[in-house]
C-alpha cells in the first residue's frame, strides 16, 4: 500500500515499501541497454522494453494515477524511459514532457544521498527553483509542463531514473488536496 506525501502543490510522492529492492532486479539490464544503444541527438531518455517490467509497473503507475487524480482515459500506453547518470555521465538540461504527457512520474534506482548530488531540480510555481533529493521506495508525480532537470552527482554508483507518463484530455486534479495541474 502506498503512502501519499505532499511535497508541494505541484510535486507529489508516493512511498511504496520494497519498491527499490524490486527495481534492483532490472538494474543490470537497464545499464547494459543504456550503454549499448546509441541515443538520438538531443535525447537523453531511452525506452526500456522489458515485458515483465512493463506489465508490473504499468499497473502500479496507472493504479496510483487513477486512485489519486481525477483524469480521463489515457490516450496512449506509454512505455518506460530510463536515464542513467554517474559522476562521469550527466546531462543537466532543463526540459518538460508537455508534448507527450499530462502527468509525469519518476522513480529511481540507487539515488545518491544528499551530499552527493543527483537530485531533481524543478521549477515550482509557488517556490521557484527547488532541488528534490530522490529517495528509495518513492515514485514522484508532477505535471508534465513543469520545467525540471537532473543535477550532477559525485557518486560513481549509477543512478537510474525510470520515467513514465500519462496523457489525457483533462487537467489532473488531486483527489486529496484538490490541486489542479
Q: Structural domain boundaries of the chain?
A: 3-37+45-174
Q: What is the pLDDT of residues 111-170, one digit of tens each?
A: 998 889 999 999 999 999 999 999 999 999 999 999 999 999 999 999 999 999 999 999
Q: How confident is the model at residue 76 (pLDDT cuts 50, 70, 90)?
A: confident
- Spatial distance between the Cα atoms of 68 and 126, rounded to a whole number of angstroms: 21
The CATH classification number of 3-37+45-174 equals 2.60.120.620
Q: Which residue has the cell 531533481?
A: 120
Question: 28: helix, coil or strand?
Answer: helix
> How distant, in Å, are the alpha carbons of 52, 139, 143, 160 from that of 8?
33, 14, 12, 24
Contact by Cβ (8 Å): 140, 12: yes
**Phi then psi for 5, rounded to 5 degrees?**
-130, 120
Mean pLDDT across 59-65: 96
Q: What are phi and psi of 180, to 5 degrees?
A: -105, 125
Instruction: Tell me the average pLDDT across 70-86.
Output: 90
Would you say residue 66 has pLDDT above 80?
yes
Average pLDDT over residues 42-66: 92
pLDDT above 90 covers a percentage of the chain that reads 81
Element (H, E) at 148: strand 148-150
Is the entire prediction scored with pTM above 0.85?
yes
Amino acid at each position: 500500500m502506498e503512502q501519499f506525501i505532499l511535497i508541494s502543490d505541484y510535486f507529489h510522492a508516493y512511498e511504496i515499501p520494497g519498491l527499490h529492492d524490486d527495481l534492483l532486479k532490472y538494474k543490470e539490464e537497464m545499464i547494459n541497454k543504456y550503454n549499448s544503444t546509441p541515443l538520438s541527438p538531443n535525447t537523453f531518455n531511452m525506452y526500456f522494453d522489458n515485458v515483465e517490467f512493463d506489465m508490473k509497473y504499468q499497473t502500479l503507475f496507472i493504479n496510483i494515477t487513477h486512485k489519486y487524480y481525477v483524469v480521463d482515459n489515457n490516450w496512449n500506453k506509454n512505455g518506460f524511459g530510463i536515464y542513467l547518470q554517474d559522476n562521469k555521465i550527466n546531462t543537466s538540461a532543463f526540459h518538460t514532457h508537455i508534448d507527450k504527457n499530462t502527468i509525469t512520474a519518476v522513480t529511481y534506482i540507487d539515488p545518491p544521498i544528499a551530499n552527493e548530488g543527483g537530485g531533481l531540480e524543478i521549477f515550482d510555481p509557488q517556490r521557484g527553483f527547488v532541488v528534490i533529493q530522490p529517495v528509495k521506495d518513492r515514485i514522484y508525480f508532477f505535471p508534465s509542463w513543469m520545467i525540471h532537470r537532473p543535477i550532477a552527482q559525485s557518486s560513481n554508483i549509477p543512478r537510474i531514473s525510470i520515467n513514465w507518463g500519462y496523457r489525457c484530455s483533462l487537467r489532473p486534479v488531486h483527489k486529496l488536496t484538490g490541486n489542479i495541474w
